[in-house]
């Protein structure tokens, strides 16, 4: 306790005061006087909480030392402890309560002072160093009080738990450390430990002390390990640790520090400290069981399918670390025995089980033999009792081991052959066992990864000859499954490793070659596997194994093992003579290339080397040295592999190349290289074209392009550069560039068999497309500049392709291999558009040779317009249109036409109208359907036009304002709307009365194909709104049919009513009425159609009466907009019927409006005899807004007394429906519900 001398001296502790007297010789009377003085001092300043602090500060370095050493009589702590005890007893006597209660209260008050600052810092889970020192001083005093019998630990815990719902775990640990209140007692006595201890342990695990607090880290680990040790020893409270284990398994994928800290706590070092070896083994066994059986959601079929993803390399680091901690005190036999017991008695989590097997195999070298023994026991037991569960367990465990590689466990093919490949197999005892195995394998087929099916086919189980048919049934089933998966048995390696399931065919063949050469080197003989493959697996041997073995290389001067192996196969006549000769020649060339590369200065820049090599290549082309050009291309390929590093054996066609259309520019070096390549190709093309046409040239262009296709990284950069040139820089390309790039596209088309597919990103199409088609999509036709470039590029490409096709064969079937169909279709679209002379049908005089046209393009780029017309009349060009893939169908033409920007079109408005009318009426209407036309049916032409308009991008459709002028659009949409109007007008003149129904059916088909998803609903809304715009542009009368029965003409509105009820209703705005423009258009159509009947007014009245019950949406919309519609309809009816009054049903709309508005203060008009819905809608419209209307609404309701007239009741029910509709609309869309009003 701190003391203050009356004379104002310095503050000194009791210990220091006592220490200052130690220089005197101790006497008995001195001690007595000292005690009396201390008691008097306590009487003057009784602060027990401060007295608890008057212990000598402990040494933090010895916090975890022994606390049981006896205090000597001369120790100041002992003296102050006695003083504190006497004072507590004196306070207890004065207050008349037990000394234990006083000591507990005083201690708890002091604890609150110490922990108060920690409560302020909510994010901190442990004491600070200063708090920890103060806590130890308090606990030291409490320990001395406990030795004096003054402190009651049980009462301390009871009072502490009453104040603290969540005890501080560090405080509990220190109480245990100082033997004041042990964790064992707390665990056994506290019934609510399960409610607070797991949460405290989780929080402590997840909290990371600051970097500089090393002491706090040590305390944290000791708190966790001590608590876990006590809980493990008290096995009845093991459920607390179960909760922590489940928490760890839930967060295992996160790999956080909390999970790792808890795993470090579960250490075998717990044994011997507070836990017996037997208890620790029982606890770890229990943990393994909990892990194996946690969340057993995955079925056996899931395990078979997903097993490849559960190797130790792909498993969670936390899970494997946990297994290592839990298995260290067991032998492999004990662990596998326990695993087998769990598998036989519980539903298990197969992922956890199989990862455990992998961990055991990888971390323990003895596990392989033990697992093989377990598999043997499982198979024996499975076939003895025909136990399916044991059989599938054995297969899963064997496959799991094989997935970890041959260094850990034998391959699956080896295990399967050893288990079932011979007469001594587990299944060979009887036909029943054989059927059991084959039935099991057949049941696995739908879930099996392809590599296992290949093993079963290539290494089938032993089957006696008389039961061969049973095996063939399985083989047929497995091959069918492989065909569905687009997998080939022939692609399987000779030495198949199932663990390399995702390996490419090339890597498998390279692995087979390596192992075959290794076996040959060790035995001096060709392995039996290779000899069998040369006979029974000849396709794989010839197309995979031999190319990998005979890969060109610089042969060493002294034959190596691979050369000796090749020579042995040659002597055995296993290598075709031509293939061997080509191999020798390629190796010689490779040696020459290496010597040439060695002569190059290694300090030279690869880009400079490539420039020199490309220049030399051009010079060799001009000199006509064909053989030297091939060698130079090999040198260029080597230089490119330095700049674009990548494996030459990389399977180019395995995965599509991604073309990022909005990607940032290429790296500077890659851009320079690609520009250099394209520039050299264009230059080489011009040089070779001066001497001879394309059909007389060598194959240099094809070889050049194939060289580029062999390097995936280079190909990706090349594709991106070409896209950028075509899409963004087309106007800056010169004639030479256009010719060269056109020829380049032709060679890409000719190499399409070995070219990868291209996936556009962002995806313009859902599936990858051929390379040339992807690049052609960058060639636009939307503006004048784009159209001119597209024509020049496509003309050059088609001319060059026709010439190259003639050089191969005069047959037309081979010419198409050189002509990109996408560029050909651009000519079919653009030439008639740009050249009106091309719209006339050919007169029969067609040119035959494209050579002259190519020479004009190559030598005079300014005269390309004449070349266009010559090409258009060329016989080969026209004949290509007979092939389906070269036909430009009407839907494609409409797609291109809709993307033309009207303000930048090469045609004027009048010229565009003439061109579109020619295309619709003269080109596609009479063309047969199989050639992309309409077959003379105007309805199909109408359907194509409508479909194209509805598929137009929403931003090109002004859907918000349906009655706006169509001329505001930037595309050709207004022009195509005009063409649709022309087709509809023509159909009307030809008395096609069903055209309106036909259009409504088309729209219904598009709307009915939508599902219930949000995107589908949004698409439905766009479709209907786009259709409404089209509907406004068409004659309204075509949607009302005129039926003739018994000489009487009547109206039929059923199709229109069905369309409104099914589709228009779903896209109504919040006010749930049709737009004013659409309502007016439909009502005008009704008047037009009624005017064509014998009794117009009567037919209109009858039709409108039917609509009151069959089409309430149109009726309510008419009432809503009647104030705006009435003058228009009256004027129209007057013009149609020579001043005849409006039909009765329409007059009732006006009468109902007057009646509804008369119900407000003023003279009341008699209720008109209109339909109930019309009267209710009129009331709803009259009282829909404004406070003055709301005030009169109650009086209106009272005037419509439902008890007097039933008709009033019907009106009120309909009015209630309309207001309920408004109420629901406001709930769903409060901001926009009245906007449409």
- Secondary structure, 3-state, 785-849: HHHHHHHHHHHHHHHHHHHHHHHHCCCHHHHHHHCCHHHHHHHHHHHHHHCHHHHCCCCCCCCCC
- Grouping H, G, I as helix, E, B as strand and the rest as coil, residue 1043 is strand
Ordered DSSP codes for 702-727: HHHHHHHHT-HHHHHHHHHHHHHHHH
Closest by Cα among 1065, 1074, 1071 to 1226: 1071
Give per-residue pLDDT as tens, 916-947.
999 999 999 999 999 989 998 888 999 999 99
Q: Which of 86-100, 598-612, 677-691 is most confident?
A: 677-691
Q: What dihedral do alpha carbons 823, 826, 828, 833 form, nearest 10°?
A: -150
Q: What pLDDT, on the 0 to 100 scale, is given for residue 965?
A: 40
3-state secondary structure of 1050: strand
pTM score: 0.53
Tens of pLDDT along 754-812? 788 888 877 666 788 899 998 999 999 999 999 999 999 999 999 888 888 776 544 44
Write a three-state SS string for 731-772: HHCCHHHHHHHHHHHHHHHHCHHHCCCEEEECCCCCCCECHH
Three-class SS of 210-224: CCCCHHHHHHHHHHH
CA distance 904 to 912: 12
**pLDDT surpasses 70 at 954:** no
pLDDT > 70: percent of the chain? 78
CA 507-510-515 angle, 5° bins: 125
Give tens-digit pLDDT for 615-654.
Answer: 888 888 877 666 567 667 767 877 887 788 754 334 434 4
| Rounded average pLDDT over 189-216 | 82
> Which residues, in sequence order, are bridge partners of residue 1051?
1042
8 A C-beta contact, residue 898 and residue 952: yes
The mean pLDDT value for 258-264 works out to 80
Cβ neighbours of residue 969 closer than 8 Å, sequence gap 6 or more? 902, 956, 957, 958
- The answer to whether 686 and 737 are in contact (CB under 8 A) is no
Kindly provide the residue ranges of all beta strands, DSSP E only, lying in 1005-1116, ordered along the sequence.
1041-1045, 1048-1052
Contact 491, 505 (CB under 8 A): yes
Backbone angles phi, psi at 658, to 5 degrees: -90, 130
- CA distances to 233, 961, 1170 from 1084, rounded to whole Å, are 91, 19, 21
> CA-to-CA distance for 547 and 527, rounded, in angstroms?
18
Q: Highest mean pLDDT range out of 53-62, 767-776, 1067-1076, 1191-1200?
A: 767-776
Peptide bond into 762 cis (omega under 30): yes
Q: Phi/psi at 12 (nearest 5 deg)?
A: -135, 145
CA distance to 59, 136, 184, 190, 946, per residue, from 179 (Å): 19, 12, 11, 17, 89
Tell whether the model's pLDDT for residue 439 goes beyond 80: yes
Residue 738, burial from CB neighbour count under 10 angstroms (0-12, 13-18, 19+): buried
The label of the residue with tokens 């090749």 reads: 566
Q: What is the mean pLDDT of the chain?
A: 79
pLDDT of 855 higher than 70? no
- Give me the mean pLDDT over the 1166-1182 stretch: 79
Inter-axis angle of helices 350-363 and 388-403, nearest 10: 50
Q: H or E stretch including 758?
A: strand 758-761
pLDDT at 698: 77
Is the pLDDT at 1163 greater than 60? The verdict is no
As a whole number of angstroms, the distance between CA 151 and CA 1197 comes to: 83
Which stretch, 8-17, 64-73, 349-358, 550-559, has highest mean pLDDT? Answer: 349-358
The mean per-residue pLDDT over the stretch 201-215 comes to 84
HSE toward the beta carbon, residue 592, CA cutoff 13 A: 12
Q: How confident is the model at residue 59 (pLDDT cuts 50, 70, 90)?
A: very low
Is 791 in contact with 737 (CB distance < 8 Å)?
no
State pLDDT tens for residues 1107-1153.
Answer: 888 888 898 889 888 888 889 988 888 888 887 888 888 888 888 88
Structure tokens at 1235: 């906007």
Per-residue model confidence (pLDDT) at position 563: 85
Question: Which are the contacts of 1064, defined by CB distance < 8 A and separation ≥ 6?
Answer: 1024, 1028, 1074, 1078, 1113
The 3-state DSSP class for residue 1059 equals helix
Report the percent of the chain where pLDDT is more than 90.
16
Distance CA 1202, CA 1188 (A): 24
3-state DSSP call for residue 580? helix
pLDDT, residue 334, reads 92
Tallying the residues shown for the chain, one arrives at: 1237
Listed in sequence order, the residues at least 6 apart from 914 whose beta carbon sits closer than 8 Å to its beta carbon are none
* Residue 841 binned pLDDT confidence (cut-offs 50, 70, 90): confident
């Amino acid at each position: 306790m701190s003391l203050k001398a009356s004379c104002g001296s310095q503050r000194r502790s009791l210990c220091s005061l006592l220490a200052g007297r130690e220089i005197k010789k101790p006497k008995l009377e001195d001690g007595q006087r000292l005690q009396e003085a201390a008691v008097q001092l306590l009487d003057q300043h009784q602060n027990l909480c401060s007295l608890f602090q008057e212990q000598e500060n402990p040494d933090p370095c010895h916090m975890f030392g022994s606390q049981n050493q006896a205090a000597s009589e001369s120790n100041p702590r002992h003296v102050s402890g006695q003083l504190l005890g006497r004072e507590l007893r004196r306070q207890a006597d004065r207050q008349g309560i037990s000394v234990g209660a006083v000591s507990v209260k005083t201690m708890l008050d002091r604890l609150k002072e110490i922990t108060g600052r920690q409560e302020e810092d909510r994010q901190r889970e442990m004491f600070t160093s200063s708090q920890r020192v103060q806590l130890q001083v308090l606990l030291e005093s409490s320990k001395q009080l406990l030795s004096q019998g003054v402190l009651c630990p049980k009462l301390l815990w009871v009072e502490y738990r009453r104040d603290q719902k969540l005890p501080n775990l560090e405080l509990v640990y220190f109480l245990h450390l100082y033997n004041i209140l042990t964790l064992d007692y707390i665990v056994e006595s506290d019934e609510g430990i399960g409610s607070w201890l797991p949460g405290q342990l989780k929080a402590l695990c997840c909290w990371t002390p600051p970097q500089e607090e090393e002491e706090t880290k040590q305390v944290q680990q000791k708190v966790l390990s001590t608590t876990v040790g006590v809980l493990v020893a008290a096995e009845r409270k093991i459920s607390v640790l179960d909760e922590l284990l489940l928490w760890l398994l839930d967060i295992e994928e996160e790999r956080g520090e909390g999970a790792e800290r808890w795993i470090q706590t579960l250490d075998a070092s717990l044994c011997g400290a507070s836990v017996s070896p037997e208890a620790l083994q029982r606890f770890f066994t229990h943990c393994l069981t909990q892990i194996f059986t946690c969340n057993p959601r995955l079925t056996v079929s899931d395990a078979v399918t997903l097993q490849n993803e559960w190797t130790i390399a792909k498993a969670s680091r936390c899970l494997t670390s946990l297994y290592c901690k839990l298995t260290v005190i067991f032998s492999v036999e004990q662990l596998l025995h326990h695993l087998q017991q769990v598998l036989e008695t519980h539903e298990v989590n197969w992922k956890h089980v199989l990862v455990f097997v992998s961990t055991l195999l990888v971390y323990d070298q003895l596990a392989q033999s033990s697992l093989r023994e377990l598999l043997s026991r499982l198979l024996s037991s499975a076939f003895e009792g025909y136990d399916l569960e044991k059989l599938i367990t054995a297969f899963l465990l064997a496959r799991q081991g094989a997935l970890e590689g041959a260094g850990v466990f034998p391959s699956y093919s080896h295990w399967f052959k050893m288990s079932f490949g011979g007469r001594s197999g587990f299944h060979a005892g009887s036909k029943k066992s054989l059927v059991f195995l084959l039935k099991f394998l057949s049941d696995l087929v739908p879930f099996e990864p392809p590599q296992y099916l290949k093993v079963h086919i290539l290494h089938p189980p032993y089957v006696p000859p008389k039961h061969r048919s049973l095996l063939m049934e399985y083989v047929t089933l497995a091959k069918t499954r492989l065909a569905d998966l687009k997998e080939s048995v022939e692609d399987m390696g000779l030495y198949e490793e199932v663990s390399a399931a995702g390996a490419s065919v090339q890597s498998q063949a390279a692995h087979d070659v390596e192992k075959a050469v290794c076996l040959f080197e060790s035995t001096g003989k060709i392995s039996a596997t290779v000899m069998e493959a040369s006979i029974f697996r000849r396709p794989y041997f010839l197309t995979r194994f031999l190319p990998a073995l005979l890969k060109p290389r610089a042969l060493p001067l002294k034959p190596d093992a691979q050369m000796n192996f090749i020579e042995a196969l040659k002597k055995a006549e296993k290598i075709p003579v031509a293939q061997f000769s080509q191999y020798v020649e390629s190796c010689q060339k490779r040696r020459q290339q290496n010597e040439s590369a060695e002569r190059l200065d290694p300090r030279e820049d690869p880009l400079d080397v490539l420039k020199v090599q490309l220049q030399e290549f051009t010079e060799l082309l001009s000199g006509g040295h064909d053989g030297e050009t091939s060698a130079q291309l090999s040198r260029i390929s080597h230089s490119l592999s330095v700049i674009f590093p990548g494996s030459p054996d990389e399977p180019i066609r395995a995965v599509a190349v991604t073309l990022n259309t909005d990607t940032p520019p290429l790296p500077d070096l890659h851009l320079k290289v690609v520009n250099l390549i394209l520039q050299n190709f264009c230059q080489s093309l011009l040089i070779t074209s001066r001497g001879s046409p394309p059909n007389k040239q060598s194959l240099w262009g094809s070889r050049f392009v194939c060289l580029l296709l062999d390097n995936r990284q280079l190909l990706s950069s090349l594709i991106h550069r070409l896209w950028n040139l075509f899409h963004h820089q087309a106007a800056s390309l010169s004639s030479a560039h256009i010719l060269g790039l056109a020829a380049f596209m032709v060679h890409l088309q000719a190499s399409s068999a070995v070219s990868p597919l291209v996936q556009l990103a962002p995806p313009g199409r859902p599936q990858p497309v051929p390379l040339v088609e992807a690049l052609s999509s960058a060639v636009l036709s939307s503006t004048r500049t784009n159209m001119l470039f597209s024509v020049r590029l496509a003309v050059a490409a088609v001319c060059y392709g026709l010439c190259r096709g003639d050089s191969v064969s005069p047959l037309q079937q081979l010419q198409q291999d050189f002509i990109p169909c996408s560029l050909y279709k651009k000519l079919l679209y653009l030439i008639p558009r740009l050249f009106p002379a091309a719209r006339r049908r050919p007169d029969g005089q067609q040119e035959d040779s494209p050579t002259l046209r190519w020479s004009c393009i190559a030598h005079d780029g300014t005269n390309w317009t004449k070349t266009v017309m010559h090409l258009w009349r060329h016989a080969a060009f026209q004949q290509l249109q007979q092939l389906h893939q070269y036909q430009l169908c009407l839907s494609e033409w409409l797609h291109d036409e809709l993307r033309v920007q009207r303000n930048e079109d090469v045609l004027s408005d009048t010229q565009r109208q003439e061109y579109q009318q020619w295309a619709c009426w003269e080109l596609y209407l009479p063309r047969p359907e199989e050639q992309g036309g309409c077959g003379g049916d105007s309805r199909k032409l109408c359907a194509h036009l409508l479909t194209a308009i509805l598929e137009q991008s929403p931003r090109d459709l002004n859907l918000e304002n349906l009655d706006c002028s169509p001329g505001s659009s930037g595309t050709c949409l207004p022009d195509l709307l005009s063409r649709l109007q022309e087709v509809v007008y023509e159909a009307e003149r030809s008395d096609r009365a069903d055209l309106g129904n036909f259009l409504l059916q088309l729209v219904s088909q598009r709307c009915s194909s939508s599902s219930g998803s949000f995107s589908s609903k949004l698409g439905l809304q766009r479709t209907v709104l786009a259709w409404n715009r089209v509907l406004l542009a068409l004659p309204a009368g075509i949607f009302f049919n005129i039926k003739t029965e018994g000489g009487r003409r009547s109206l039929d509105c059923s199709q229109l009513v069905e369309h409104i009820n099914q589709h228009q209703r779903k896209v109504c705005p919040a006010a749930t009425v049709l737009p004013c423009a659409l309502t007016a258009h439909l009502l005008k159509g009704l008047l037009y159609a009624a005017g064509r009947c014998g009794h117009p007014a009567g037919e209109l009245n009858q039709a409108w009466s039917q609509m009151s019950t069959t089409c309430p949406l149109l009726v309510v919309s008419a009432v809503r907009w009647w104030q705006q519609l009435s003058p228009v309809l009256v004027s129209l009816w007057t013009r149609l019927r020579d001043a005849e009054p409006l039909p009765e049903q329409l007059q009732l709309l006006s009468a109902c409006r007057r009646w509804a508005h008369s119900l407000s203060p003023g003279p009341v008009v008699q209720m008109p005899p209109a339909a109930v819905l019309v009267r209710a809608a009129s009331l709803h419209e009259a009282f829909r807004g404004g406070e003055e209307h709301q005030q009169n609404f109650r009086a209106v309701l009272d005037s419509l007394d439902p008890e007097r007239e039933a008709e009033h009741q019907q009106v009120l029910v309909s009015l209630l429906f309309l207001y309920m509709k408004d109420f629901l609309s406001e709930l769903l869309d409060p901001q926009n519900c009245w906007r449409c009003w």
